[in-house]
């Protein structure tokens, strides 16, 4: 599986999205 880029990761929606993706086993790159 590839890496997922989450933009706006310091905001409410972005941080929750990044956390859920990581918990599901995805590799996550976060950018704010």
Q: What pLDDT is attached to residue 9? A: 95
DSSP helix/strand/coil, 9: coil
Tokens 């993706």 belong to residue: 21
pLDDT per position as a tens digit, 1-32: 799 999 999 999 999 999 999 999 999 999 99
Q: What pLDDT is attached to residue 5? A: 98
Q: Which two tokens stand for residue 11?
A: 């905001």
Q: What pLDDT is attached to residue 20? A: 98
Could you tell me the residue range of the domain that residue 21 belongs to? 1-32
Q: What pLDDT is attached to residue 26? A: 96
How many domains would you assign to the chain?
1
Helix and strand totals (H; E) in the chain: 1, 2
18 contact partners, CB below 8 Å, separation of at least 6 = 6, 9, 28, 30
Q: What pLDDT is attached to residue 15? A: 96
């Amino acid at each position: 599986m590839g890496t997922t880029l989450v933009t706006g990761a310091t905001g409410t929606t972005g941080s929750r999205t990044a956390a859920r993706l990581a918990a599901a086993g995805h590799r996550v790159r976060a950018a704010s």
